[in-house]
């Protein structure tokens, strides 16, 4: 079974190296530096990473399917900048939310990386 540390070190080398195939071969030969101090730290990092990912995906789901499709009739009763709110969410609001989610993810991941000492 492949350890989390091994996968983390492979991902780090592949992202840093201009020749990803060579980086993967180095990992297979065991010539890698570990990003985390121990496996417990790696597990905690990935648990927080996955937790953040699911929270952001929940927001994405609520905005895209909830506001844009499922609740569109209810939201259309409200006017927003002259448009029905359900229509606005389906056409513009979802896009703004998705872009905001990208920035939130980047900020939170940078904070998480610093917390575990794996930042660049």
End-to-end CA distance of the chain: 28
Q: Do 104 and 114 share a domain, yes or no?
A: yes
Q: Do 20 and 45 share a domain, yes or no?
A: no
Q: Do 43 and 25 share a domain, yes or no?
A: no
Q: Do 8 and 43 share a domain, yes or no?
A: no
Domain residue limits at 56: 37-120
Q: Do 31 and 41 share a domain, yes or no?
A: no
Statement: residue 109 has pLDDT above 90: yes
CA distances in angstroms from 80 to 24, 87, 92, listed in the order given: 52, 10, 11
Per-residue pLDDT tens over the stretch 41-68 = 888 888 999 999 999 999 999 998 988 8
Beta strands in the chain (DSSP E): 79-80, 83-84
- Rg of the chain taking only CA atoms, in angstroms: 20
Q: How many domains does the chain have?
A: 2
Q: Do 70 and 119 share a domain, yes or no?
A: yes
């Amino acid at each position: 079974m492949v350890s989390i540390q091994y996968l983390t070190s492979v991902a780090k080398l592949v992202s840093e190296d201009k020749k990803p195939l060579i980086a993967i071969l180095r990992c297979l030969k065991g010539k890698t530096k570990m990003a985390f101090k121990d496996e417990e730290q790696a597990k905690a990092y990935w648990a927080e990473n996955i937790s953040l990912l699911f929270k952001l995906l929940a927001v994405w789901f609520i905005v895209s399917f909830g506001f844009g499709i499922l609740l569109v009739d209810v939201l259309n009763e409200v006017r927003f900048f002259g448009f029905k709110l359900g229509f606005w969410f389906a056409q513009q609001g979802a896009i703004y939310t998705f872009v905001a989610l990208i920035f939130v993810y980047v900020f939170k991941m940078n904070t998480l990386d610093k917390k575990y000492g794996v930042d660049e």
